[in-house]
Amino acid sequence: MEKEQLVNAAQEMLSKAYVPYSKFPVGAALLTKDGEVFQGCNIENASYPVTCCGERVAIFKAVSQGVRDFEALAVMANTDRPVPPCGACRQVMSEFFEPSMPVYITNKDLEVKETTVQELLPFSFTPADLESGQS
Ligand SMILES: O=c1ccn([C@H]2C[C@H](O)[C@@H](CO)O2)c(=O)[nH]1
Ligand SMILES: [Zn+2]
Is it true that domain 3-132 has CATH number 3.40.140.10? yes
Q: pLDDT (tens digit, 9 = 90+) per residue, 26-40?
A: 999 999 999 999 999
Q: Which of 30, 51, 105 to mutate to test the pocket of ligand 1 (most atoms within 8 A of CB)?
A: 51
DSSP class of 72: E
1, pLDDT greater than 90: no
- pLDDT at residue 116, rounded to an integer: 98
Distance CA 76, CA 97 (A): 19
Looking at every residue in the chain, the average pLDDT score rounds to 97
Q: What is the pTM of this model?
A: 0.96
Distance CA 26, CA 73 (A): 13
55 assigned to active site: yes
In sequence order, what DSSP letters do the residues of 13-32 get, joined into one string? GGGG-B-TTT---EEEEEEE
- pLDDT at residue 135, rounded to an integer: 95
* ipTM associated with this complex: 0.98
Q: How confident is residue 25, by pLDDT bands cut at 50, 70 and 90?
A: very high
